[in-house]
Amino acid sequence: MALLSVITAPDARLKAKSLPVDGVDGEVRALMDNMLETMYSAPGVGLAAPQVGVHSRVIVIDIAEKDATPEPFRLANPEIDWASEETILCEEGCLSVPEYFAEVSRAQSIRLRYLDYDGKDRELEPEGKLAACIQHEIDHLDGVLFIDYLSVLKRRIILRKLIKARKLQAQKIPA
Ligand code: GNR
Ligand code: NI
Protein backbone atom coordinates (compact mmCIF):
# COMPACT_ATOMS: atom_id res chain seq x y z
CA MET A 1 0.00 0.00 0.00
CA ALA A 2 1.08 3.56 -0.52
CA LEU A 3 0.22 7.06 0.60
CA LEU A 4 -0.93 9.30 -2.23
CA SER A 5 -0.64 13.07 -2.28
CA VAL A 6 -3.90 15.02 -2.13
CA ILE A 7 -4.43 17.88 -4.59
CA THR A 8 -5.64 21.16 -3.08
CA ALA A 9 -7.80 23.87 -4.67
CA PRO A 10 -7.55 25.78 -6.88
CA ASP A 11 -6.51 23.13 -9.40
CA ALA A 12 -8.00 22.24 -12.79
CA ARG A 13 -7.76 18.53 -11.90
CA LEU A 14 -10.40 19.04 -9.21
CA LYS A 15 -12.80 20.56 -11.78
CA ALA A 16 -12.53 17.71 -14.31
CA LYS A 17 -15.17 14.99 -14.70
CA SER A 18 -14.10 11.44 -13.86
CA LEU A 19 -14.86 8.45 -16.08
CA PRO A 20 -16.53 5.17 -15.03
CA VAL A 21 -14.22 2.19 -14.55
CA ASP A 22 -14.73 -0.82 -16.84
CA GLY A 23 -14.80 -3.13 -13.86
CA VAL A 24 -13.01 -3.68 -10.58
CA ASP A 25 -9.66 -5.24 -11.45
CA GLY A 26 -6.43 -5.41 -9.45
CA GLU A 27 -5.51 -1.87 -10.44
CA VAL A 28 -8.81 -0.42 -9.23
CA ARG A 29 -8.57 -2.46 -6.00
CA ALA A 30 -5.04 -1.15 -5.39
CA LEU A 31 -6.30 2.39 -5.99
CA MET A 32 -9.13 1.83 -3.47
CA ASP A 33 -6.69 0.47 -0.86
CA ASN A 34 -4.18 3.29 -1.36
CA MET A 35 -6.97 5.86 -1.18
CA LEU A 36 -8.25 4.38 2.10
CA GLU A 37 -4.75 4.44 3.59
CA THR A 38 -4.33 8.05 2.45
CA MET A 39 -7.74 8.98 3.88
CA TYR A 40 -7.05 7.38 7.28
CA SER A 41 -3.65 9.04 7.46
CA ALA A 42 -4.99 12.54 6.60
CA PRO A 43 -7.28 11.96 8.57
CA GLY A 44 -10.52 12.28 6.64
CA VAL A 45 -13.87 10.49 6.41
CA GLY A 46 -13.92 10.19 2.63
CA LEU A 47 -11.75 10.51 -0.46
CA ALA A 48 -12.48 10.60 -4.20
CA ALA A 49 -9.99 9.45 -6.88
CA PRO A 50 -9.69 12.86 -8.61
CA GLN A 51 -8.34 14.26 -5.32
CA VAL A 52 -5.28 12.07 -5.85
CA GLY A 53 -5.09 12.88 -9.57
CA VAL A 54 -6.92 9.82 -10.90
CA HIS A 55 -10.01 10.61 -12.98
CA SER A 56 -11.85 7.36 -12.38
CA ARG A 57 -15.22 7.11 -10.62
CA VAL A 58 -13.89 5.58 -7.42
CA ILE A 59 -14.55 6.75 -3.85
CA VAL A 60 -13.76 5.50 -0.35
CA ILE A 61 -15.49 6.39 2.90
CA ASP A 62 -15.34 5.57 6.59
CA ILE A 63 -17.38 7.70 8.98
CA ALA A 64 -16.87 5.44 12.02
CA GLU A 65 -15.59 7.16 15.20
CA LYS A 66 -11.84 7.07 15.77
CA ASP A 67 -11.86 4.42 18.52
CA ALA A 68 -14.66 2.35 16.96
CA THR A 69 -14.23 -0.59 14.60
CA PRO A 70 -13.42 0.75 11.11
CA GLU A 71 -16.27 0.57 8.58
CA PRO A 72 -14.59 1.17 5.23
CA PHE A 73 -16.61 1.51 2.03
CA ARG A 74 -14.90 1.14 -1.35
CA LEU A 75 -17.20 2.17 -4.19
CA ALA A 76 -16.71 2.21 -7.96
CA ASN A 77 -19.13 3.89 -10.38
CA PRO A 78 -21.51 5.08 -7.62
CA GLU A 79 -24.82 6.33 -9.02
CA ILE A 80 -27.55 7.94 -6.97
CA ASP A 81 -30.89 6.73 -8.32
CA TRP A 82 -33.07 8.30 -5.64
CA ALA A 83 -32.70 11.20 -3.22
CA SER A 84 -35.12 12.30 -0.50
CA GLU A 85 -36.71 15.73 -0.70
CA GLU A 86 -35.90 16.07 2.96
CA THR A 87 -32.51 17.75 3.42
CA ILE A 88 -29.99 18.06 6.22
CA LEU A 89 -27.38 20.68 6.95
CA CYS A 90 -23.95 19.13 7.27
CA GLU A 91 -20.81 20.91 8.50
CA GLU A 92 -18.41 19.96 5.73
CA GLY A 93 -14.71 20.10 5.22
CA CYS A 94 -12.55 18.78 2.41
CA LEU A 95 -8.98 17.56 2.22
CA SER A 96 -8.69 19.56 -1.02
CA VAL A 97 -9.86 22.75 0.75
CA PRO A 98 -7.76 22.50 3.91
CA GLU A 99 -8.83 24.32 7.07
CA TYR A 100 -12.21 25.59 5.81
CA PHE A 101 -15.59 24.36 7.00
CA ALA A 102 -19.09 25.37 6.00
CA GLU A 103 -22.64 24.10 6.26
CA VAL A 104 -23.95 22.48 3.09
CA SER A 105 -27.51 21.30 2.44
CA ARG A 106 -27.69 17.66 1.29
CA ALA A 107 -30.45 15.11 0.73
CA GLN A 108 -31.13 13.39 4.07
CA SER A 109 -31.37 9.94 2.46
CA ILE A 110 -30.30 8.56 -0.89
CA ARG A 111 -30.27 5.26 -2.70
CA LEU A 112 -27.29 4.37 -4.82
CA ARG A 113 -25.91 1.58 -6.98
CA TYR A 114 -22.21 0.87 -7.23
CA LEU A 115 -19.62 -1.83 -7.82
CA ASP A 116 -17.98 -3.18 -4.67
CA TYR A 117 -14.38 -4.37 -4.10
CA ASP A 118 -15.24 -7.65 -5.83
CA GLY A 119 -16.86 -5.91 -8.78
CA LYS A 120 -20.33 -6.98 -7.65
CA ASP A 121 -23.33 -4.75 -8.38
CA ARG A 122 -24.68 -3.47 -5.06
CA GLU A 123 -27.27 -1.12 -3.62
CA LEU A 124 -27.07 1.04 -0.53
CA GLU A 125 -29.62 3.30 1.19
CA PRO A 126 -27.60 5.54 3.49
CA GLU A 127 -28.99 8.45 5.46
CA GLY A 128 -27.64 11.27 7.57
CA LYS A 129 -23.89 11.74 7.73
CA LEU A 130 -23.06 8.73 5.53
CA ALA A 131 -25.48 9.95 2.84
CA ALA A 132 -24.03 13.48 3.02
CA CYS A 133 -20.48 12.20 2.79
CA ILE A 134 -21.27 10.03 -0.24
CA GLN A 135 -22.87 13.06 -1.95
CA HIS A 136 -19.69 15.08 -1.20
CA GLU A 137 -17.51 12.35 -2.76
CA ILE A 138 -19.71 11.86 -5.85
CA ASP A 139 -19.59 15.64 -6.35
CA HIS A 140 -15.78 15.32 -6.62
CA LEU A 141 -16.27 12.83 -9.48
CA ASP A 142 -18.23 15.54 -11.29
CA GLY A 143 -15.70 18.28 -10.57
CA VAL A 144 -17.76 19.88 -7.81
CA LEU A 145 -16.35 21.05 -4.46
CA PHE A 146 -18.43 21.94 -1.38
CA ILE A 147 -17.28 25.56 -1.71
CA ASP A 148 -19.16 25.68 -5.03
CA TYR A 149 -22.38 25.77 -2.94
CA LEU A 150 -21.25 28.91 -1.09
CA SER A 151 -21.68 32.47 -2.35
CA VAL A 152 -19.27 33.67 -5.04
CA LEU A 153 -17.83 36.08 -2.49
CA LYS A 154 -17.15 33.43 0.17
CA ARG A 155 -15.67 31.09 -2.41
CA ARG A 156 -13.39 33.81 -3.75
CA ILE A 157 -12.14 34.64 -0.25
CA ILE A 158 -11.38 30.97 0.48
CA LEU A 159 -9.61 30.39 -2.85
CA ARG A 160 -7.51 33.54 -2.43
CA LYS A 161 -6.38 32.41 1.00
CA LEU A 162 -5.51 28.97 -0.38
CA ILE A 163 -3.43 30.58 -3.15
CA LYS A 164 -1.67 32.75 -0.59
CA ALA A 165 -0.99 29.76 1.68
CA ARG A 166 0.42 27.83 -1.29
CA LYS A 167 2.77 30.71 -2.17
CA LEU A 168 4.01 30.94 1.42
CA GLN A 169 4.55 27.19 1.46
CA ALA A 170 6.53 27.35 -1.79
CA GLN A 171 8.81 30.04 -0.36
CA LYS A 172 9.59 27.89 2.66
CA ILE A 173 10.89 24.97 0.64
CA PRO A 174 13.99 25.92 -1.40
CA ALA A 175 13.89 24.57 -4.94
O1 GNR B 1 -12.70 14.58 5.85
C2 GNR B 1 -13.74 15.01 5.36
N3 GNR B 1 -14.74 15.41 6.17
C4 GNR B 1 -16.03 15.65 5.75
C5 GNR B 1 -16.93 16.18 6.65
C6 GNR B 1 -18.23 16.39 6.30
C7 GNR B 1 -18.65 16.07 5.04
C8 GNR B 1 -17.77 15.56 4.11
C9 GNR B 1 -16.47 15.34 4.47
S10 GNR B 1 -15.40 14.64 3.33
C11 GNR B 1 -13.85 15.12 3.90
C12 GNR B 1 -12.75 14.40 3.15
C13 GNR B 1 -12.80 14.79 1.70
O14 GNR B 1 -12.33 15.80 1.27
N15 GNR B 1 -13.44 14.02 0.89
O16 GNR B 1 -13.58 14.34 -0.40
NI1 NI C 1 -13.67 16.50 -0.39
Domain boundaries, the chain: 12-172
Cβ(59) to ligand 1 under 6 A? no
* Atom 13, ligand 1: residue with shortest CA distance: 94
Contacts of 2 (CB under 8 A, 6+ apart): 34, 37
Q: Show which residues are catalytic.
A: 137
Cis peptide before 10 (omega within 30 of 0): yes
Q: Which listed ligand is nearest to 58 at the C-alpha? A: 1
Q: Does domain 12-172 have CATH number 3.90.45.10?
A: yes
- pLDDT of 45-72, one tens digit each? 999 999 999 999 999 999 999 899 999 9
* CA of residue 145 to ligand 2 center, whole Å: 7
* Cα distance between residue 60 and residue 125, in whole Å: 16
Task: Please work out whether the CB of residue 14 comes within 6 Å of at least one atom of ligand 1.
Answer: no
pLDDT of 81 > 80? The answer is yes
Say what the pTM is: 0.97
Pocket test for ligand 1, best of 40, 59, 95, 146 (most atoms within 8 A of CB): 95
